[in-house]
Chains A and B, each alone.
Chain A
Amino acid sequence: MAVASPGQPALQEVQPTAIKRAWTGYRLTEGLTPYLLIAPLLILIAVFIYWPLIYSAYLSFYDWNFVRPDKTYVGWDNFTRLPDDPRFTRALRGTLIYTVTLVPLQVFLPLGLALLLWPIRKSRAQTRYRIMLFSPTIIAYSVAAVMWLWIFNPLQGILNKVLAEFGAERINWLSDRSTAIWAIIIVATWKTLGFHMLLYLAALESVPKDYIEAASLDGATHWQIMRSIRFPLITPTFFFVLVTTVISVNDDVFGAINVLTDGGPFDSTTNVIYYLYQQGFQFFQIGAASAVAVLMFAATSLLTWVQFRFVERHVHYG
């Protein structure tokens, strides 16, 4: 029976509406809160990643330098002139060489080192090796460059001095087109080796020990354990290293190019990223640089898709 006071609605008339409102409010808060919490991050990503991406695509159709008040619409010119630009052709060649050589070096060499260090994981020596191999990752390129410039110096460099002991001729490491690109590859590998090695070591650490023990009890050899247990279980890390290396290898090498050779001699160490930098920040052709950026984005996306499409099927996620 409904109890009502004068001027007050009956209790059973109030309750359903109030509960409904409270429930709706709760649902709304529950629904919105996560979005509110991630909103700052989403805004930052939108402002600093997606907007530049869109704006860069827009600028690729203009001739502009960021400063001139007049932006000239040039249609596809910034794209169509690229094949006729010998500098771009040389940059493409460099990009190809860096990708073909550095991807295996940065994916497999750290894996090999991690496998070598894994058996001595409980000794102090491994810590020393890890520090030794990882420290190049945290050294700034500008600092590392000074050291490498002295190592590669043709007249006083330690590398040529050592080679001379074996009767080798003087090599102009950074100023000879046949060696300069290899010097850059050496420095870039040295710089990234340690980080990838640490990722592999962490992955090896996470392989469940009981799998290994069971296999050992069944008489599996060291190589069989590696091939059939350890490697399949670290394939997610392997895949991650592969994908990120393919995406970033030409970006990573930029620092070495910039501080050691400036793309020379004769553009022999340049790549598409350095070409983009030159167009945008040395020649002040933002439209041309944006066109290259758009093409790089498309090419990288395609390569990443290919890897996910054809390589990921071999990855064991446990």
Chain B
Amino acid sequence: MAELTRRRFVGQATAVAGAVALSGSVAAKAAAAAGRSTRKAAAQEKTEISIYHIWGTPPGGTPAETPAPMTQVIDAFNAQSDTVTLTSSTPGTYYETLQKTQADIAAGNPPDLVSVPWAFLNYAVEGLGVKDLATVAGDQFADLQASMSDTAWPLVTKDDTVYGFPWGLSTPILYYNADLFEAAGVDPEEAFATWESFAAACPALQDALAGNPVLGLSYNKDWPAQTIIQSNGGRVLNDDGTFGFTSDEAKEAMQTIADLDKAGFYDRGTRDELRPSFVAGSTAVLQSSVASLNGLTNDVAFTLGTSTWPRFGDKPVIASTGGSFLGVFSDDAAKYPAVVEFLTFCASEEGYSLWNQTGYVNISNHELERLPGQEPAYAQFEAGLIRETNWPSARGVEAGSTWDVYCERIWANDISVEEGVNQALQEITAIIGA
């Protein structure tokens, strides 16, 4: 047996390492070449496009036995298309989806379609370069437009250019434990008529809950705050771009929730706590998106009721939108016909019927059956929704997050309304003006 000297060992190790590297490289090249040829063959038959979205599980619910509605839409599209294969990816929340989109754009490999929140339209246009839908759709743009409600298109329009396909339109509504209301002897219709009547009903509901808080406002607090402020005649951001959240109407609206908190009726829980508390029957009322209807209906063991927001006196409820549109990010114009084929399927009765199971408001022009519990959302939609606040400038997302923190602080009585809105104004001005 040959003696293993240091030199021999080093030499052999180098030779082995070199051989491995070389063979790895050759194998990789061969695999890549094989992959290319396979893909090339497949590409001749079908165009591959990708979509990033948030609907991996039924909205607001746990994974169900049946696929989530968006998965059903994608599966049905793939089954019927002879020319396109759509692959879907669900990176997580809206933030995580946009992070992945941003990273992939930076890496030169943008996804073809992405679900973008309405509130991020400005950022999608200015920061991420979402494509003009008219350019993408070409001749078929008019058909796409005709398939969806006229009220939906302004939500994806900026400076007279349409930047996306309106898809998931939600609005915040109130879910309540109807059994608990009955046990407490509270008439829901009467309780949800005005904020005054709601506050009057809270003690009875709280007794039925053994002292627990009554109302939880979920998601980012700036979302329900927008509906509450608008319903009192105020605005978070005025149409001319000035800040409206310091107006008397806005302050009065914000005070309403702070007063409920002071009386112990408002649940300060985190967004991950509020929903489980409601589902477990520990709170009586939960504000959430209408898109949570399907998930909540599946999850609760009590009779689930839904309601529009209480009014401020005689003023009408003016809710905000929520949800997202489908934005095109592909730089490859050759893929646009495939993207349009998918969007056309989404707009078709077959596609939209599958999507309509979520609970989102039907913004297509198809007459589809409404889900039990969707009535408040349609009532708010028909009364006119205002687009979720699109904070201006490249730092608009940060400004929105700052306002969210102040809404949370004001409602939990960590700061007075007056102080809170003034400090928010100062901080947001510094951010947006920076």
Residues of chain A whose beta carbon lies under 8 Å from any beta carbon of chain B: 26, 29-30, 33, 36-37, 63, 65-68, 81, 84-87, 149-150, 152-156, 172, 174-177, 260-262, 264-267, 278-279, 281-285
Contacts and interface: CB of A to CB of B under 8 A. Distances in A.
Contacts of B283: 155
A182 to B, nearest CB: 15
Main secondary structure of the interface of B (DSSP, over half): helix
Interface string B396-421: 01100110010011001010000000
Interface stretch (B6-14, B154-162, B350-358): B6-14
Given A85-B430, A264-B270, A278-B398, 8 more contacts: A29-B11, A66-B105, A67-B129, A81-B434, A84-B430, A86-B427, A150-B276, A265-B408
A26 B10 CA distance: 12
Given A84-B430, A156-B276, A172-B268, A265 B412 contact: yes
Interface stretch (B95-103, B226-234, B336-344): B95-103
Contacts of A175: 268-270, 273, 412
Contacts of A65: 102, 127-128, 394
14 contacts: A26-B7, A33-B14, A65-B102, A65-B128, A66-B105, A68-B126, A153-B269, A155-B280, A174-B269, A174-B273, A260-B270, A262-B271, A266-B414, A278-B398
B397 A33 contact: no
B255 interface: no
B102 A66 contact: yes
B268 A66 contact: no
A155 B103 CA distance: 39
Contacts of A68: 126-127, 129
Interface in B1-54: 7, 10-11, 13-14, 17
A281 B99 contact: yes
A283 B408 contact: no
Contact of A67 (B17, B102, B280, B434): B102
B374 interface: no
A145 to B, nearest CB: 8
B106 interface: yes
Given A87-B402, A155-B277, A176 B268 contact: yes
A281 B95 contact: yes
A261 B277 CA distance: 16
The residue in B17, B270, B276, B434 that gathers the most chain A C-beta atoms within 10 A of its C-beta is B270
Contacts of A149: 272-273, 276
Contacts of B276: 149-150, 153, 156
